[in-house]
Amino acid sequence: MTVRDIGIVATTGRPAIAGTFHPLVLQPTSFCNLDCSYCYLPDRRSRQLMSVSVATACVRSIEQQGSVHPVSVVWHGGEPTATPIDIFRELLAPFEELQRAGRVRQDPDQRDAHQRAVVRSVRRL
């Protein structure tokens, strides 16, 4: 699977992911347990999760663009820390090789935020 397999935006006929990009905002889930009155996400009650094949397609797209600049991967939502930690680890795994090569930059605070959120929720039990 590559970026072209993810899909085409119907209204523009263009690929859902641009051929070259530096920031990559990923939504592991649109679910959010909050209900802010100003929220723009219609699917915030959906518990559907990003699949590993989508994460892998994003990695292939980064490889294919061959940029000399690292791509900044931002895990966004919904509430990304609502993603079950095992699934989140599976989604992070495809990016690890590119990260070691310096071609992907993931904010360590974001990656660690999920771990901290899980630890906090377990302590509350």
* H-run or E-run covering 25: strand 23-26
Find the shortest distance in angstroms from Cβ 51 to ligand SF4. Answer: 21
Q: Write the binding mask 57 to 86 for ligand SF4: x where contact by CB under 6 A, - elsewhere.
A: --------------------xxx-------
* Inter-CA distances, 111 with 10, 12, 100, Å: 33, 33, 15
Residue 26 as a binder of ligand SF4 (CB under 6 A): the answer is: no
Residue 113 as a binder of ligand SF4 (CB under 6 A): the answer is: no
Comparison of 5 and 43: residue with beta carbon closer to ligand SF4: 43
* H-run or E-run covering 29: none
Kindly compute the dihedral angle of the four CA atoms of residues 75, 125, 44, 60, in this order, to the nearest 10 degrees: 30
Chain residues binding ligand SF4 by CB under 6 A are 32, 34-36, 39, 41, 44, 77-79
